[in-house]
Chains A and B, each alone.
Chain A
């Protein structure tokens, strides 16, 4: 199954939760936020939120700017 992760195609091995995806990115869990198909998934729901096939997923953090 394939999703769009931060604008690029990304293959998932099977049903994957937001929490599993975040951990797989190996960036830690703090100062991150996740949107699936344009809606924020609160941190408290990461473990229960399974990413649908073909979903558009954004994982963001704070950077210098503005």
Chain B
């Protein structure tokens, strides 16, 4: 597979060109988001739903739309299935999309998914016609349950949201990618480009990152670096890595040595 060959991701029958999804949490300004989108080529951007303030809504959404990217509203901050379902329904009404990144977290300290509430919300939203992309933990059984419920993708965490700790349990992520049929998107924990490359090498179909880009010293540069890492990791996965060995294996011919 050539690095330049078309290799689009398909989620719920929709083609997504870039395998790097961008979160907007922490973005310094709509202008920086615009530069990050240009630098990374991302065409799926997640946004939160909140009560209106005194400013007219718009500038952030205008940037996403001008770029031609798809909006993926999320239910960040929701703690119960009931809150998440209402938030998703409000997002569908406000933005005209039935896609939702479903987040139901247990508390504000760990920000870890509450899988009981998550499964409940996923079931309700799938039944209501939503394209559900759930943020989940790195547990294979939960991921399989979400896929079985009809979620369009599963999005396991690499490590806690905003931690930048990378992929804490690579074998758990690999197990999920091997077990579920729907696309697997590594969500949360990415700190830098190599983490994203690893996610793709483990068999993930895409990577979502927010903090790693938005709070980097140079967000557009990091967006470009992570986008490149996603492509490299995807290509490496397809190329088939060598097996790991306990001992050395000579790469040079062992015959015809001078002096033999």
In the complex, B49 has a CB within 8 A of chain A: yes
- Provide the residues of chain B in CB contact with A28, threshold 8 Å: 56-58
Compute how far the CA of A7 lies from the CA of B48 in the bound complex, rounded to whole angstroms.
Answer: 18
- Provide the residues of chain B in CB contact with A40, threshold 8 Å: 86, 89-90, 93
Q: Interface majority SS on B: helix, strand, loop or mixed?
A: mixed
Closest to B30 in A: A64
In the complex, A33 has a CB within 8 A of chain B: yes
Q: Which A29-65 residues have a C-beta within 8 angstroms of B?
A: 30-35, 38, 40, 42-43, 58-65
Compute how far the CA of A38 lies from the CA of B56 in the bound complex, rounded to whole angstroms.
Answer: 23
Size of A's binding interface in residues, CB under 8 A: 25
Distance in Å: Cβ of B211 to nearest Cβ of chain A: 11
- Provide the residues of chain B in CB contact with A34, threshold 8 Å: 93
CB–CB A66/B57 < 8 A = no
Interface residues of A (CB under 8 A from B): 6-7, 25-28, 30-35, 38, 40, 42-43, 58-66
Interface residues of B (CB under 8 A from A): 23-27, 33, 46-52, 55-58, 60-61, 71, 73-74, 76-77, 86, 89-95, 101, 103, 210
10 smallest CB-CB distances across A and B, nearest first, come from A65-B48, A66-B74, A66-B76, A33-B94, A61-B57, A33-B93, A64-B24, A33-B90, A6-B51, A62-B47
**19 contacting pairs across A/B (C-beta < 8 A):** A30-B57, A31-B58, A31-B94, A32-B94, A33-B49, A33-B91, A33-B94, A40-B89, A42-B93, A59-B51, A59-B52, A60-B52, A63-B47, A63-B50, A63-B60, A64-B27, A65-B24, A66-B24, A66-B76
